[in-house]
Amino acid sequence: MSEPQSEIQHFTKHWQQQLAEAFNNIDDLCRYLDLSPDDLPVSTAAVEDFPLRVPLSFAACIEKGNPHDPLLRQVLPIKDELFAYPGFSNDPVGDLAAATRTSVLHKYHGRVLFINTGSCAINCRYCFRRNFPYADLQLGKQKETTAIQAIRDDASISEVILSGGDPLLLSDARLARLMQQLNGIKHLKRIRIHSRLPIVLPARITDELIDTIRQSPQQIVMVVHCNHANEISARVIAACNALKNSGITLFNQSVLLKGVNDNAEILCELSERLFGNGVIPYYLHLLDKASGTGHFEVSETEALALIKQVQAALPGYLVPKLVKEQAGAASKQPVF
């Protein structure tokens, strides 16, 4: 089916304009998807707690008229978010305990994580940082300078991870300034960028952005976040190809989500589509137990059964590592 003219025009706009036109209202999103809010368990209270934000580039991948679409489930605010599930909290992975005076997270040996921005192009309802106090910890210019100096002074740090929010929501100029400061640190081997934008807002992957990233003498690794093969549109493929062809190593991390990808066939298709487009399946995370996300949880027992089915169906290099994050642990914890 061909795209409506209005969508064709939308996708010719600058990525920032596309982002500005993202859906932020349940009624508008449902109208676009030929759904009635009255037939869905939507919650305006959940929106007040964690706003709705869905770019058209992602919404266009959702099957219209299907209230059970796995992509819709990732972004639709529903009443289940208001239920207090036992064991769920506002800081499930111990980010606040790992925050340093320079506003970086130093959780694992040899790596530090920058919270560059609290903004995302899409508000995923299962987000483990949906309750994170970004205003207190994201890097402004002064904190950024202090953090860079702290990295210069610590020769044990070999990798900087740009995170958020989503670091690719920073302007090219801001990214360039940050990269230039990191470039002169000799003991730094890699810069890793964690971003959902190549998947949900592929227009962000411009020639200018790639030129900015390629200025770095360090190896650049980008970890994208895709949970279902239906997210991989032609525009996403083009964005991934542009990144790959520029020499950036691409990995994917997914979250195992009930009602989205808790099915071996779906996980296999995701791995095949990713690898077929130059992205290595890297991690399959168990849900981080953030308040408001309990309805997405898949048990460890179920997860292990699923990954065994995936292992039986795919070559080893297409099987993501099943992991969970445990506050205070020295690394991601494998699930056996």
List C-alpha distances in Å: 333 to 17, 171, 239.
40, 34, 31
Of 123, 186, 188, 134, whose CA–CA distance to 159 is shortest?
A: 188
Burial group, residue 278, by CB count within 10 angstroms (0-12, 13-18, 19+): middle
Give the integer Cα–Cα distance in Å for 218 and 153. 18
Are 321 and 283 spatial neighbours (Cβ–Cβ below 8 Å)? yes
- Compute the 3-state secondary structure of the chain and give helix, strand, coil in percent, each to the nearest 5: 40, 15, 40
List C-alpha distances in Å: 74 to 54, 124, 183.
10, 6, 37
CA 272, 276, 281, 287 torsion: positive or negative? negative
120: annotated binding-site residue?
A: yes
Of 265, 304, 253, whose CA–CA distance to 124 is shortest?
A: 253
Burial 204-231 (b: 16+ CB within 10 A, else e): bbeeebbebbeeeebebbbbbbbbbbbb
With a CB cutoff of 8 Å and minimum separation 6, the contacts of 72 are 33, 62, 66
Structure tokens at 131: 């309750």
DSSP state of 69: -
- 98: left (phi > 0), else alpha (psi -120 to 50), else beta? alpha
φ, ψ of residue 171 to 5 degrees: the values are -70, 160
Q: Which residues pair with 290 in a beta bridge?
A: 89
DSSP state of 204: G
Residue whose structure tokens are 């520029």 = 246
Residues annotated in a binding site for [4Fe-4S] cluster:
120, 124, 127
Residues annotated in a binding site:
120, 124, 127
